[in-house]
Structure 1
């Protein structure tokens, strides 16, 4: 890899000055043959490798910790040669599907949040803000009340789609105007929340307990079909995200500059929001509306690398790490046993949201 120094403009810069400071990002080039040279930032590569290592450690801990965990010395044999007895049950039924669902769900939420924050140019933006999670929760609640034999995950998916359709119609400009998108989303979320509260109030106590666990977001009792579903969503959307990624970085510099460079900012925003919604809806359908992963993962990724652009790969890895660590805490906590993982992400994400609000208020952007 041949390296050289280059200056990366930070979005929002004026006359060469970024809001905080101009950042010089060390870039290298990954050469493929003699004609292809892909720009690579060393800081981002190192960050991705570190986060990937943390994810691997968290995955091993998920499979080995606790009374039912697989012995560390037997883990490689169980994974690569086939497990027997208790280890087979833990790997194939209890923790394996839960782990793989958590990794892909966290990555989907991280990518979804990175796309949405990039097009809105707002660190507080996430799919939760535009009513997707609330719509999914309302759909799940209605299915639990009126169609008890049908999986609530299907209701969640349909609820998310309906909520986004209402937002699309309510803005009058589709997904092109970030300001109208947020305002319409808040309204749709309020309506959906009212539906959820009504259903929880009228359903039987046992059903309400199960429904509440799903509405908080949970990875308990996930199956390989859940893991397959969310991984297929990721595989289907990642190539499309790769096509949009370069235009997202350009669009963060402003609509005028993006248009001058041959990009269509309106079309880019619409494509990014649609992909963000598909990722979030897929994640919600298998794990429920897990809060704050989509908000925090992209922000941590940006702060680690301090470079321009949405940091999509690192956001996905960060989302996976955050969710797997939260689920590990949910499984192994001696105090709060069997709590849904969404409660842990709410606690951590709420503190982080408070930090972001305070920071943006001090900077005068709120």
Structure 2
């Protein structure tokens, strides 16, 4: 058990440590490939020097303007989504739950559509996406009649809000001119193209501020998985823990949306991969963050380098991977006799 003061206690498991080390190595490998592959890639032998600031003109441009910020945003947004999904699934006790399910991504797309249609050039599209996600969460909280405390009502209300937001977005895209609709493209499906260090700083600060709160919630969230009555009897305060965890999950997801648009399925699959590989109980926040960062960075590497995926928004690829994962999960549960 790793303790930080009297509030934070993090359990350590040998298998989890082994998988954590493996994920870190994979993440370093994906980062190196992102920076070195392709016609504009920095040669691997030159990469340490370029990172240290001794690069030549083209090498420095690639690292500082093209691939460096994009990689940093992918890592930060992926980690944020991984933590968000782990918290959400743990407190709702639903392996198929995530902020995507309750309409955050759909609300972001609708907000971006409104911004592009009614306030072109006046309000940045990312700000519209962020406002749309906030309004979607407010609508879900109001629709449940109990805020964010009741998991069943939350998911049902979220599905309804997401459906309405998707319908509105598709209407806007259908009536907009082609040039205007192209602006919306990345904020409907999610994209890491044309990212800057400002975007990287935004998601980096959001994750850094959220980590202490997530760590403090890890213990109560793990207890909450055993049921509300037992959690309350052990002093975990199930209702308060659930509200805090879902709120933090929504904030992290909204931060990811603000820099990359609604990236689908990362927050759904990352916690499940983390839990199944480590075999450790509880939300597995650190490993979920690593897996989320790895999934998004790997998907972005594919859309940058694979000819068949060239120019594809990374959110479409993560959506496809998420669909495959859900299919495998359903087959697995069917074979176990659960379905």
The answer to whether the superposition gives a TM-score over 0.5 is yes
1:357 to partner: Cα distance: 2.9
Which structure has more RCO (C-alpha within 8 Å, separation ≥ 6)?
2
Equivalent in 242, 245, 263 of residue 269 of structure 1: 242
Q: Which residue of 2 aligns with 1:12?
A: none
Q: Compare CA radii of gyration and give the structure with the larger one.
A: 1
**Equivalent of residue 141 in structure 2, options 157, 168, 182:** 168
- 2:28 aligns with 56
Structure with higher strand content? 1
Cα distance, 1:58–1:200 mapped onto 2, change above 3 Å? same
Distance change >3 Å, CA 84–CA 265, structure 1 → 2: same
| 8 Å Cα contact 1:291/1:346 also seen in 2 | yes
Q: Which has the higher helix share?
A: 2
Q: Is 1:44–2:16 an aligned residue pair?
A: yes
1:206-285 equivalent positions in 2, closer than 5 A = 206-285=179-258
Per the alignment, residue 109 of structure 2 pairs with 137
The corresponding residue for 2:53 is 81
SS in 1 for 2:309: coil
1:81 aligned counterpart, secondary structure: coil
Unaligned runs of 5+ in 1: 1-28
Q: Report matched runs for 1:1-366 at 5 Å.
A: 29=1, 39-149=11-121, 150-363=123-336
Going from structure 1 to structure 2, the CA distance change for 1:271 and 1:53 (only over 3 Å counts) comes to same
Q: Is the 8 A contact 1:138 1:195 kept in 2?
A: yes
Gaps of 5+ in 2: none
Q: Show CA shifts across 1:208-229 (max 9, x none).
A: 1231233111001000000000
Paired residues in the alignment total: 336
- TM-score under structure 1 length normalisation: 0.89
Normalised to the residue count of structure 2, the TM-score between the two structures is 0.95
CA distance in structure 1 between the aligned counterparts of 2:301 and 2:43, rounded to whole angstroms = 17
Deviation, 1:365, is 5.2
Equivalent residues of 2:129, 2:187 under 8 A apart: no
Contact kept, 8 Å, 2:108 with 2:187, in 1: the verdict is no
1:110 touches 1:320 (CA, 8 Å); kept in 2?
A: yes
1:364 positional shift: 5.8
Query: Is residue 9–residue 219 contact of structure 2 (8 Å, CA) maintained in 1?
Result: no
2: CA distance, partners of 1:86 / 1:147:
37
RMSD value, Cα: 1.7
Secondary structure at the counterpart of residue 12 of structure 2: strand
Is this contact kept in 2: 1:83–1:91, CA < 8 A?
Answer: no
